[in-house]
């Protein structure tokens, strides 16, 4: 009888201990799963005059993209002009509110998340960071015009359940002169949009932005110089990123926000890593290896960093089969060796 009693006790003890261990392991696995956050493997999708079709989305799926930037543009006549013109019939379909909705809905159906990024274009092509008004009255007019522009698209972003909204891109002088306006604007955007917010600061501007605390990501247009070589090697690019990694990590820790590359990319030209922001037409060489190595060096240097959220490749055109190619020296990696590099890294997650 005593032997039977001991057997029963041991059986239940074994069952209890095993069940607890399994529960602990399951709990641990759940925590590990929750802690694993996928990188934003994004592309900057260039608007088109046409509707977005399923055949236009498939190449994004094939490279492993899980995010796309939708970029409706507003236009101003000059750097000192206070009125922003947007959502006009003469604009490309993909830049209008109707077009933006169509793009977002189809991308969401394909399980591709969205960052909506309304941007300003100065009609003569000048740098938006230099937009600056000459009087208080003109500043106030610009503020009203920009508020309407941003809030109109923020409402669309909320209605379409867009995951990230970018409140501005490379507007250094505007922020420098009117910092309190931007805090007010952020509060107004949050009243109509409940997703994550960022601002796309230029690579040499982001450390001076005074309102990172009010946003969810530190957005950087990441055209950092990383190599002086005509055809940089992968290791040279990785080394070139070291100083910037220290700086980016420091800002991330200071603000307690992850770094998001709102734009990143390299042209397929000689010296692609020297001044990556340049789109000068006088740079007419074609160097496909320089682009591939620069991108691979960036991925290997940054993509596994905990403080780094991921980024949006500049740039990707809808008509995939007819763009890029082996004779193209612009930013797109489409139909170039660089596309394979992007696919290899984006498809890992």
Is the pLDDT assigned to residue 4 strictly greater than 60? no
Question: How many whole angstroms separate alpha carbon 24 and alpha carbon 21?
Answer: 5
Range ranked top by mean pLDDT from 12-16, 162-166, 283-287: 162-166
| pLDDT, tens only, 64-77 | 999 999 999 999 99
pLDDT digits (tens, 9 = 90+) for 173-219: 999 999 999 999 999 999 999 999 999 999 999 999 999 999 999 99
Identify the helix (H) or strand (E) that includes residue 164: strand 164-169
Q: Which residues contact 201 (CB under 8 A, 6 or more apart)?
A: 170, 172, 209, 218, 219, 220, 221, 262
Write the pLDDT tens digit of every residue in 8-48: 334 444 444 444 444 444 433 333 333 456 899 999 999 99
pLDDT at 273: 97
d(CA 258, CA 164): 14
Spatial separation of the C-alpha atoms in residues 48 and 122, rounded to whole Å: 19
Report, as an integer, the average pLDDT of 109-132.
Answer: 96
Average pLDDT over residues 2-7: 43
Q: How far is CA 298 from the centre of its chain?
A: 15
SS3 content of the chain, % helix, strand, coil (to 5): 45, 15, 35
What percent of the chain shows pLDDT beyond 90? 85
**Residue 126 Rama label (left phi>0; alpha psi -120 to 50; beta):** beta
Give per-residue pLDDT as tens, 221-275. 999 999 999 999 999 999 999 999 999 999 999 999 999 999 999 999 999 999 9
137-160 pLDDT per residue, tens: 999 999 999 999 999 999 999 999
């Amino acid at each position: 009888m005593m032997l039977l009693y001991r057997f029963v006790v041991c059986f239940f003890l074994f069952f209890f201990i095993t069940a607890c261990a399994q529960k602990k392991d399951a709990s641990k696995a759940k925590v590990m799963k929750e802690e694993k956050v996928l990188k934003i493997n994004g592309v900057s999708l260039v608007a088109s005059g046409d509707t977005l079709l399923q055949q236009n989305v498939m190449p994004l799926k094939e490279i492993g993209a899980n995010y796309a930037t939708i970029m409706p543009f507003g236009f101003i006549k000059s750097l000192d002009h206070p009125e922003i013109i947007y959502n006009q019939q003469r604009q490309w379909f993909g830049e209008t509110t109707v077009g933006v909705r169509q793009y977002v809905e189809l991308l969401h159906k394909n399980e591709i998340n969205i960052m909506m990024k309304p941007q300003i274009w100065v009609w003569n092509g000048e740098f938006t960071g230099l937009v600056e008004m000459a009087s208080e009255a003109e500043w106030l007019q610009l503020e009203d015009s920009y508020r309407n522009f941003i809030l109109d698209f923020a409402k669309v972003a909320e209605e379409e359940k867009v995951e990230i909204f970018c409140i501005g891109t490379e507007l250094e002088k505007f922020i420098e002169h009117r910092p309190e306006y931007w805090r007010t604007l952020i509060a107004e955007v949050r009243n109509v949009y409940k997703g994550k917010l960022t601002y796309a600061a230029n690579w040499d501007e982001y450390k001076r932005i005074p309102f990172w605390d009010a946003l969810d990501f530190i957005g950087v247009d990441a055209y950092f110089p990383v190599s002086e070589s005509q055809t940089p090697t992968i290791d040279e690019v990785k080394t070139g990123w070291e100083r910037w990694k220290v700086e980016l990590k420091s800002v991330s820790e200071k603000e307690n926000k992850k770094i998001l590359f709102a734009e990143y990319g390299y042209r397929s030209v000689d010296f692609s890593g020297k001044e990556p922001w340049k789109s000068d037409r006088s740079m007419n060489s074609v160097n496909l290896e320089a682009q591939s190595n620069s991108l691979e060096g960036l991925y290997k240097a940054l993509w596994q960093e905990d403080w780094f959220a991921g980024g949006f490749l500049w740039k990707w055109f809808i008509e995939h089969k007819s763009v890029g190619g082996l004779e193209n020296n612009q930013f797109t990696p489409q139909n170039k060796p660089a596309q394979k590099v992007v696919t290899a890294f984006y498809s890992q997650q």
